[in-house]
Structure 1
Amino acid sequence: MTELRVATIGYAFMGRAHSNAWRNVGAYFDVPDVQQAVLVGRDPAATKEAARRHGWADTATDWRDVVGRDDIDVIDICAPGWLHAEIAIAALQAGQHVLVEKPLSNTLAEARAMVDAAAAAPGQVAMVGFTYRRVPALAYARRLIAEGRLGTVRQVRASYLQDWLADAAAPMTWRLRKDTAGSGALGDIASHAVDQVQYLTGQKVTTASGTLRTFVTERPGPDGTEPVTVDDAAWATLGLDGGAVASVEVSRVALGCKNALTIEVYGSAGALAFDLERPNELRFLDGSDPASESGFRRVVVTEPEHPYLDAWWPQGHVLGWEHAFTHQAADFLGAVASGTQASPSFAEGLAVQEVLDAIESSAARGGAPLRIGE
């Protein structure tokens, strides 16, 4: 396999990030060549301008025009969540590989249907884009935990705080309507936090209790004030099958926080901490150090021995947020080339969706703990 022809559906925020990855991945990783064949968007003029800027050969205004085409190998879905299931299932049934942005879908029923479609298409790669797995510092943190450097993991704290909706006058968008977004901060950013809890520890969430809050209940829309039908913030306590307990806090109205994903993991023999606003750093504590020397050390994750770094610059030269998307594209293309399934799979995306559903159901019952799947 020497070339894969990609169609990306969506040209806005995520479409730009994915376009950057497809354009650059072959320059740094040993993967099949990528042909940026088609960019899909509903606005013809805006889509053509985005295609010109980001290196796409052609455009379309309807995803149905690219799904099933013989000259398209990969369908990359950056559309809103309510479209994920329909597009992904159609592409898998047409014999195409699929990369879909998180969360997997808006509902459990849709997520399960996507998992079934992937299982019925074992020759195609079906992957969900939990991109922060590809941040080198977090991939290295997972390695340290797997090697036993933290001992038995006891506690995890995951917080993802943003403030882009802190202003009550911020306008209505599709992300604030339940029928298009599914949920608010819960699906948008708690999905990342929950995935990291399971990815880093290697443990599955088995129980969840949650609280949701909508602080701004109305927003200005094009036709006047509209009700906000999703959450602004969410809190959860999660029980894991290895005995650890995790706390998750997310918000899109936390004034002063721009993209603050912070993760702390505490074990019997060590601890670590990460902050996405300092993406090249990992703080690590070795519990075997004498008390007189005990403390967190700052690890700058830019050495060739760190995950993904040997493809980039000399040690000490930092990477940015966008590089994780290039790493994701490299892993996806590598799975296609080798005929293996990529991780996170649709099944892993469903596992996150089940936790989010349990948090939402628990919140509706006053925060009562629920077993996953109840």
Structure 2
Amino acid sequence: MSSSMPQTELGIALIGTGFMGKCHAMAWRNVAAVFGGAHPRLEILSDVTEDGAGRFSRQFGFARSTARWEEAVSDPKVDVVSITAPNGMHRPMAEAALKAGKHVWLEKPMALTLEDAEAMAETAAAHSGQVTMLGYNYLRSPAFQAARNMVRDRAIGKPVAFRGVYDEDYSADPLLPWSWRMTREGGGLGALGDLGCHLVSHMLALMGPVAEVVAQTQIAVPSRPSPDGAKRVENEDSALALLRFTSGAQGSFATSRVARGRKCRLQWELHGTDGTIVFDQENMNELWVYRAGDDGFVRHLTGPAQPDFSVFCPAPGHNFGFNEQKVIEARDLLTAIAGGPNAGPDFAHGLEIERIIHAMAASNGTAIRLGR
């Protein structure tokens, strides 16, 4: 892949310094060391305060800092803008960056509302010279890439059913304080926008487009404590759905942010006419595969035979990690900027994910058809 990496430096702006901001910074610092090509130039970092921006710019290795994100996206030395800000800022930041002629790497979810996502996809289409990519890093794990190749090569026959779950417990405690993430205005969707969209990205990559969905959502903890008294939770804590794919295959989907004991249970199994594949992100360094005629499932450990593993480590069975997935994502973005294929999801493909999760949120037990 290094041959399609940029051979000239690209200037990087980073907006946001939380969990994902730090992941982006590490990916930008490591991508050329792993895959070759020119090292990106860490040009400017933006945070909400001047003090914070300055402190994190030094920690992350950026040359300059600003408390005004508008300065970062319009800076003439910047070619690519990484956006890891809160969900409500995704649309204005991404659109401003595209209109300024920048490439955009945006963390999921794409937007607060489906209308915002549609507008962003239109803006991206109108600026086709700029590359867009959404931060669905779980698509980059070597185990998942191997599973997708198996499905493509019909190693387990024709896919007939998909069963997927993404559960965490970060909101399970009813005494957890209220935050903007629990509002429609600040957070948009709840578990669907934070977790379920990742499961949808896997589902689409393996099964293809969705034709129909019927779903129910639940707010398990209706109010949360705050310094101003109890405040209402506005978005869903969990969601369940049944799906029909355009291929005719069927699917089931579940996601929850209040599932006690679950930390990152992005787990699915895919049934084919000749076998089954099982994956669990909590055990991301293995696949379980059954093929017709086997005595049982076979455990496949990550190793150099799987996509992108060997550039990090030449030895099989040595574990891959979350941040390595982000480095691969940065490589994919740079490859697209250099004129190679866009592995996505770009904003057009991201809109497809948004349409599915927003249909689930709106369903309330009624089937919704999803057309192209």
Same fold, TM exceeding 0.5?
yes
The answer for the alignment partner of 2:303 in structure 1 is 302
The CA deviation string for residues 218-260 of structure 1, in whole angstroms up to 9 with x for no partner, is 1122433211111111111111011111111111110001111
Q: Could you tell me which of 181, 184, 198 is aligned with 1:192?
A: 198
Cα distance in 2 for partners of 1:49, 1:218 equals 36
The answer for the alignment partner of 2:260 in structure 1 is 255
Deviation at 1:339, TM superposition (A): 5.7
Cα distance in 1 for partners of 2:200, 2:267 equals 12
Does the CA-based 8 Å contact 2:219-2:238 persist in structure 1?
yes
**Number of equivalent positions:** 365
The answer for the alignment partner of 1:368 in structure 2 is 366
The answer for the alignment partner of 1:56 in structure 2 is 62
Cα distance in 2 for partners of 1:212, 1:333 equals 38
Does the CA-based 8 Å contact 1:32-1:333 persist in structure 2?
no
The answer for the alignment partner of 1:315 in structure 2 is 315
Matched, 1:182 2:188: yes
Ranges in structure 1 where 5+ consecutive residues have no aligned partner: none
Cα distance change of structure 1 residues 215 and 62 upon mapping to structure 2, 3 Å threshold: same
Cα distance in 2 for partners of 1:263, 1:30 equals 34
Provide the identity percentage.
36
Does the CA-based 8 Å contact 1:32-1:337 persist in structure 2?
no
Deviation at 1:23, TM superposition (A): 1.2
Deviation at 1:70, TM superposition (A): 0.9
Deviation at 1:310, TM superposition (A): 2.3
The answer for the alignment partner of 1:99 in structure 2 is 105
Cα distance in 1 for partners of 2:179, 2:264 equals 19
Where in structure 2 are the equivalents of 1:109-148 lying within 5 Å?
109-148=115-154
Cα distance in 2 for partners of 1:248, 1:32 equals 41
Q: Could you tell me which of 61, 75, 88 is aligned with 2:81?
A: 75
Does the CA-based 8 Å contact 1:158-1:263 persist in structure 2?
yes
Matched, 1:236 2:241: yes
Ranges in structure 2 where 5+ consecutive residues have no aligned partner: 1-6
**Partner SS, residue 211 of structure 2:** strand
Cα distance in 1 for partners of 2:341, 2:38 equals 15
Matched, 1:209 2:214: yes
Cα distance in 1 for partners of 2:295, 2:248 equals 26
**Partner SS, residue 257 of structure 1:** coil
The answer for the alignment partner of 1:325 in structure 2 is 326
RMSD of aligned residue pairs (Cα, Å): 1.4
Does the CA-based 8 Å contact 1:123-1:339 persist in structure 2?
no
TM-score, normalising length: structure 2:
0.95
After the TM superposition, which parts of structure 1 deviate over 6 Å for at least 4 consecutive aligned residues? Answer: none
The answer for the alignment partner of 1:353 in structure 2 is 354
Does the CA-based 8 Å contact 2:162-2:269 persist in structure 1?
yes
Matched, 1:89 2:95: yes
The CA deviation string for residues 93-134 of structure 1, in whole angstroms up to 9 with x for no partner, is 111000111111111111111111111112111111111110
**Partner SS, residue 190 of structure 1:** helix
TM-score, normalising length: structure 1:
0.94
**Partner SS, residue 33 of structure 1:** coil
